[in-house]
Amino acid sequence: MNTFTLSKGHPDVAGFFDPRTFSVQYVVSDGATRRCAIIDPVLDYDEKSGATATHHADELLAYIEREGLTPTWILDTHPHADHFSAARYLHEQTGAPTAIGRSIVEVQKLWKELYHWPELAVDGSQWHHLFDDGERFELGEMEVKVMHSPGHTLASVTYLIGDAAFVHDTLFQPDFGTARADFPGGSAHQLWHSIQAILALPDDTRLFTGHDYMPDGRQPQWQSSVAEQRRDNRHRLGELSEAQYVELREERDRQLPMPKLILHALQVNIMGGRLPMPEANGKRYLKIPLDALEGARWSTGDVS
Average of per-residue pLDDT across 169-181: 96
CA distance 85 to 81: 10
Query: What pLDDT score was predicted for residue 130?
Result: 98
CA distance 228 to 85: 29
Q: Residue 1's pLDDT band (boundaries 50, 70, 90)?
A: very low
Average of per-residue pLDDT across 298-303: 61
Task: Select from 57, 68, 65 the least CA-distant residue to 30.
Answer: 68
Query: What pLDDT score was predicted for residue 269?
Result: 98
What mean pLDDT, rounded, does the chain reach? 95
CA distance 80 to 261: 9
Query: What pLDDT score was predicted for residue 255?
Result: 93
Q: Residue 304's pLDDT band (boundaries 50, 70, 90)?
A: very low
Domain boundaries, the chain: 12-269
CA distance 301 to 232: 30
In this predicted structure, which of 86-100, 102-116, 126-140, 283-297 has the lowest mean pLDDT? Answer: 283-297
The CATH superfamily assigned to 12-269 is: Ribonuclease Z/Hydroxyacylglutathione hydrolase-like (3.60.15.10)
Query: What pLDDT score was predicted for residue 2?
Result: 52
Average of per-residue pLDDT across 224-231: 97
Q: How does DSSP assign 214-238, residue by residue?
A: -GGGPPP--EEEHHHHHHH-TT-TT
Q: Are 297 and 258 in contact (CB under 8 A)?
A: yes
Q: What is the pLDDT of residues 232-290, one digit of tens each?
A: 999 999 899 999 999 999 999 999 999 999 999 999 999 999 999 999 999 999 999 99
**Residue 250: what are its φ and ψ, rounded to 5°?**
-70, -35
Cβ density class 14-41: b for 16+ within 10 Å, e for less: ebbbbebbbbbbbbbbbeeeebbbbbbb
Query: What pLDDT score was predicted for residue 302?
Result: 42
Q: What is the pLDDT of residues 154-170, one digit of tens each?
A: 999 999 999 999 998 99
pTM (two decimals): 0.94
Residue type, 118: P
* H or E stretch covering 91: helix 87-94
Q: What is the pLDDT of residues 19-38, one digit of tens each?
A: 999 999 999 999 999 999 99
